[in-house]
Amino acid sequence: MAELAEAGHAVAELTVQEYITHHLSYLTFGQVDGHWGIAHTPEEATEMGFWAVHVDTLGWSVFLGFGFLLFFRWVGKNASIDKPTGVQNFVEMVVEFVDARVSEGFTHKNDLIGPLCLTLFFWILLMNTMDLVPVDWITKLFEISAATFFNFEHAPFKIVPTTDPNITMGLSVSVFFMIIYYSIKNKGLGGFLKELAFHPFGKWMLPFNLIIEVPTLFAKPISLGLRLFGNLYAGELLFLLIASMLGFWQLPAHFVWAVFHLLVIPLQAFVFMMLTIVYLNQAHDKEAH
């Protein structure tokens, strides 16, 4: 217990700037000086380079994703027509909501789009919801444990995956690959290239068409990923500012901002899902412009 108290005291010795910087850092795994391990300083994390892995946000995203799959599988296996439970009604409501949005926005036949959009919506919703957990609860517990058992003081540990651009851009790039795949599958490689080269001004304006269409194509994954990251990162930053200024008395102010944030969390998941539907619908369109 004395060691735990000592670790807690060491963790608490942070200025406001150090506190915010620490909470915006990642638990990074990578290679430094020929050895693989966890970065103990921001300098080590930077030295690890492109192939470094953010263990905390990646771990939480995988954990929440598996949790979502197991929960829906359990509800599906125990579903009852005669005596539906409240949980079953909730899941059916979510499925019907997503199915209605797909039916409205996707005008083609593809059995993958519905499950994809349901997965994206609920997975992103769960990752966003981690932003409502007070910033010091899980992070502080991990920090004290790391200091006590591994002599790793001020260990960073982010629990909101969507405040990590690697996670949000990973989702958006996956959607982008699907856009390219279905565009080529439905229009042919020639049709896809013609759409980029001849739209919107015709074949005689090919250079100008490319100047417009190529950036527009690559703007899709960037807008998907950065919009989600930016909104959740801004919300997390405000939670950190509240915590750093008010300390123990942060919970009332945290609650006020969390109530407003309840609108942001589902809205960002919904926007990501709807843009995915729109982009994939465009990828299935075969009409010549």
**pLDDT tens digits for range 176-221:** 999 999 999 998 898 888 888 777 777 767 788 788 888 889 999 9
Average pLDDT score, the chain = 86
pTM of the model: 0.88
| Residues pairing with 32 in the sheet | 35
What CA–CA distance (Å, rounded) separates 255 from 32?
Answer: 41
Contact 169, 258 (CB under 8 A): no
- State the catalytic residues: 223, 227, 231
DSSP secondary structure code for residue 30 in this structure: E
Residues whose CB falls within 8 Å of the CB of residue 81, separated by 6 or more in sequence, listed in order: none
Least confident piece of the model among 50-64, 90-104, 142-156, 170-184:
142-156
Instruction: Say which amino acid occupies 203.
Output: K
What CA–CA distance (Å, rounded) separates 180 from 192?
Answer: 9
